[in-house]
A and B are shown apart, each in its own frame.
Chain A
Amino acid sequence: MKIVTKLKIFGTFAAVLVIILGAIIYWRASQVDLAIEKDRLAGSLVKEAFILNILSGDYIQTHGERAETQWMSQYEKLNKSIDSYTIDNQEEQVIIDKLRLGQKVILVHFSQLQANIEDEGSPGIEEFEKRLAGQLSIDVQSIVSSATDLADINSKNLAIVRQASSFFILIVVLSLGFLFFFTYTLLAGSISKSIKELIEGTKVLAGGDLSFRYKTKNKDEFGQLSLAFNDMAAGLQKMDEIKTQFIYLVSHELRTPVGAIKGFMSMINSGDYGDRTKKLERPLFLITASVDRLLHIVNKLLDVSRIQADKILLNFDNYKIQELIDESVLEAYPAAAEKNLKLEVKKNNYFIVHADKDKVIQIVNNLLENAIKFTEKGIISIYTEQAGDKVCTFISDSGIGIAKEYQPKLFDKFDEIKLEEAGKTSGIGLGLYISREFAKKMGGDLWIVQSEPGKGSTFAFSLPVSQSTGKNNKNGDYI
């Protein structure tokens, strides 16, 4: 289901919840209003009965015409109050019936009292009047009492309705709130999960794994985005393959003419074409150096394309690592001597590694080449030590060092930007990448041990200890 459809459903669902909540609150509020109104009517009944009681007393005392009129008027008011009262249950019905009966009784007694008052002077009338007055008072008080009972019932009922409504509304609000939150969490969770997956995939792609693809069956917007992401990744992978193929073809094609130049130069330099004139010596030297550099670059590009196409051939054998290091040091010696740098080799003839000779020499060459390139004075030292089933070779220099922020980028391809400040960007930034890939292919690794600007660097690479010759024997020569 599409996200937009899910959001629409969720919106409709939320709106329905709000409407239900509103209707429930309105219904409960009406119930409370009704109870309040009834409570008011009951209160009014009490008030009318109470006034009638006072007026009864007044009439009994004064026998006046005004009191009589007031009593009658109040009686009517009470009557109206009783009529306007809505009966909801049996209990109320009993009280109202009692009130109506009481009403009739007091009217009879009031009329009798009226007649009696008019007959004043008849023998024994005074005694009768007292009795009638007493009866009226009792009847009216009985009405007041019944009205008060009704008011009490309503007060209690109002309290119950209020409490019930509050509780009911609370339960409904909580239930709807939970329902809303649950649905929201479900929706938000599904969206958030998809976004997280896309972020993870993007990171994997950014990390260089262009083969990463989403396996999605979703047909929503995220599913479509995942498919678009896959298309983009496929495009990038295709471009990367084309780039690798291009580098391979270009470098391969370059090697033939460069090889010819180098061959001719070596023949000229060795005198195969006769003696060189003095004037030509310097240009010939520079041409030779440039061709060497060009060949070096072309070879590195070929290595990169082979690494990327997984076409590196390794000829494994067992070697004394010191012999391979010595071969490389011999090659690096002139360059170090030219800068007055001391090459210090702590020899150890006991470590035997299982590796490809040419690749190991290439790694040491590269690390020494970098050390010489970025060191102006001091010492470059090389030593080996065994760590578990690996032999580690350390190459330290007293050169410019590398700031921490640039160190993670050191092993990226074509990345020598970190050396721009030092004005040392003469390479193409492939050496460390190639060396590390070679070390990994041989079952080892290559890493930076430490480096600090102005305090030099230490690089190390590891190679597996030869298994066939057994454990390296530090007390004797190798087998």
Chain B
Amino acid sequence: MDEKNKKQILLVEDDIALAEMYQDKFVLEGFHVYVSRNGVDGLEAALRIKPDLILLDILLPGMDGMTVMKKLRTDVWGKTVPIIMLTNLNANDTILKGVVEDHPAYYLMKANSEPAEVVGKVKDVLKEI
């Protein structure tokens, strides 16, 4: 696929192994992947690159995924960009309470989801928009 036509994914994940694993899978599936290792870098990269979709871990050093998402939603572009949260947290955990309703176009996926499942989810979300 032409590099220009490739869908751009921003992966914000602090775990090296997980980041590399998802990166490998998305590259194999024809995506262009950017990787950030913390929340601050992830927010900066998102606003700069403006990817088609963001895969965001919740527990991140510096700035957690929830804060990154809230800040993105205040931006004109970031208001609508689809975000998939990757987390081991249960939706009942304190950190997730009260955010679901306030922030549309975000999806929750278990961090231990198979790479193929995550790719499938990303493709589905991109089809929707």
Contact = CB atoms under 8 A, between A and B. Distances in A.
A342 interface: no
A436 interface: no
A262 B24 CA distance: 14
Interface stretch (B40-48, B62-70, B107-115): B107-115
A306 B90 contact: yes
Interface stretch (B1-9, B13-21, B31-39, B121-129): B13-21
A139 to B, nearest CB: 123
Interface stretch (A124-132, A264-272, A361-369, A443-451): A264-272
Contacts of B90: 306, 311-313
A258 B92 CA distance: 23
A415 B1 CA distance: 55
A257 B116 contact: no
Given A260-B15, A263-B18, A255 B112 contact: yes
A259 B17 CA distance: 9
Contacts of B21: 260, 263-264, 267
Interface in B98-120: 111-116
A272 B25 contact: yes
Contact of B92 (A261, A264, A302, A311): A311
Interface in A3-51: none
Contact of A313 (B17, B28, B91, B112): B91
A209 to B, nearest CB: 24
A312 B91 CA distance: 9
B116 A270 contact: yes
A272 B28 contact: yes
A425 interface: no
A260 B20 CA distance: 9
Contact of B88 (A255, A261, A264): A255
A260 B115 CA distance: 9
Given A256-B15, A264-B17, A267-B25, A313 B92 contact: yes
A257 B112 CA distance: 9
A259 B25 contact: no
Interface string A281-295: 000000000000001
A252 interface: yes
Nearest to A258: B112
Contacts, number: 58
A263 B114 contact: yes
B114 A266 contact: yes
Contacts of A263: 18, 21-22, 25, 112, 114-115
Contacts of B18: 256, 259-260, 263
Contacts of B28: 272
Contacts of A302: 88
Contacts of B113: 259
Interface string A242-257: 0000000000100111
Interface string B46-67: 0000000000000000000000
Contacts of B115: 263, 266-267, 272
Interface string A317-361: 000000000000000000000000000000000000000000000
A259 B118 CA distance: 13
A197 B90 CA distance: 41
Contacts of A258: 112
A97 to B, nearest CB: 112
A307 to B, nearest CB: 11
Interface in B66-102: 88, 90-93
A391 B74 CA distance: 48
A256 B93 contact: no
Contacts of A267: 21, 24-25, 115-116
B92 A259 contact: no
Contacts of B114: 262-263, 266
A257 B111 CA distance: 10
A302 B111 CA distance: 14
Contacts of B17: 257, 260-261, 264
A270 B15 CA distance: 23
A291 to B, nearest CB: 10
Nearest to B96: A313
Contacts of A272: 24-25, 28, 115
A313 B18 CA distance: 26
A305 B129 CA distance: 38
A55 to B, nearest CB: 123
Interface in A54-89: none
23 contacts: A256-B18, A256-B111, A256-B112, A257-B17, A258-B112, A259-B112, A260-B15, A260-B18, A260-B21, A262-B112, A263-B18, A263-B22, A263-B114, A263-B115, A266-B114, A270-B116, A272-B25, A272-B28, A272-B115, A302-B88, A311-B93, A312-B92, A313-B91
In the A-B complex, list the 9 residue pairs whose CB atoms are closest, starting with the nearest: A259-B112, A313-B92, A260-B17, A263-B21, A260-B18, A263-B115, A255-B88, A266-B114, A256-B15
Given A260-B21, A267-B115, A267-B116, 4 more contacts: A256-B112, A259-B111, A262-B114, A264-B17
